[in-house]
Amino acid sequence: MATADTLLTAEEFLLLADNGQPMELVKGVPVSMNLPTPRHGEICGQTYYLTRHFLDENPLGRLVTNDSGILTEHDPDTVRGADIAYYSYNRVPRGPLPQGYLHVVPELVFEVRSQTDRWSAIQAKVGEYLAAGVTVVCVLDEPTGEAHVFHADHPPRRYSSDEELTFPDVLPGFRVQVRRFFE
């Protein structure tokens, strides 16, 4: 395992043998994560479905899921696993994705906050994404059924279950009532 003297790069982290435990790389150090609950997976699946359906009708880009690695910091490297991330075709052209981690960040990241997730940890991850250049981070809060939307240049906004969630700067025309993500 990495120590302060032997921090891993993103490339070295990618080549680690799978030990069956989900991990992220945080400032060069592999950090184990608990497996999410089935409810977390259900919300992620619904989020993917709703967003994918929009993209089928409006081919603007692609989605990745299942904690696909996003390189958020360099020297030392940090690789975070987003629940769902959207990359426009302007940022990542059509066609098969290259092997390894992408050298660009997505425009939109969805994170699902479960009962056991601490807001401080979620907010730190949101800050990392925004500092890396992600345009919008949407935290779907399972305990409350609300959505919290973060941008780098203005205050976060909380959406109740009855409000419509839109991302006009990255997904023009996308409109979904917040409660649908939690169905």
pLDDT tens digits, one per residue of 15-65: 998 888 889 999 999 999 888 899 999 999 999 999 999 999 999 999 999
Side chain identity, residue 83: D
Does the pTM of the predicted model rise above 0.85? Answer: yes
The pLDDT, as a whole number, for residue 17 is 85
Q: What is 36-182's CATH superfamily?
A: tt1808, chain A (3.90.1570.10)
For the residues 119-128, what does the mean pLDDT come to? 94
What's the CA angle centered on 143, arms 67 and 114, to 5 degrees? 25
Distances from the Cα of 117 to the Cαs of 36, 121, 132, 140, 143, in angstroms?
10, 7, 22, 12, 10
Q: Phi and psi of 21, rounded to 5°?
A: -110, 125
Q: Are strands 108-113 and 164-167 parallel, antiparallel or unpaired?
A: unpaired
> Is the model's pLDDT at 148 over the cut of 90?
yes
User: How far is the CA of 45 from the CAs of 32, 38, 81, 108, 164, in angstroms?
Assistant: 23, 10, 16, 16, 19
Q: Given the structure tokens 């700067």, which residue do they identify?
A: 169
Residue 98 DSSP SS3: coil
Instruction: Spell out the domain ranges in the chain.
Output: 36-182
| Residue 136 to residue 167: CA distance in whole angstroms | 8
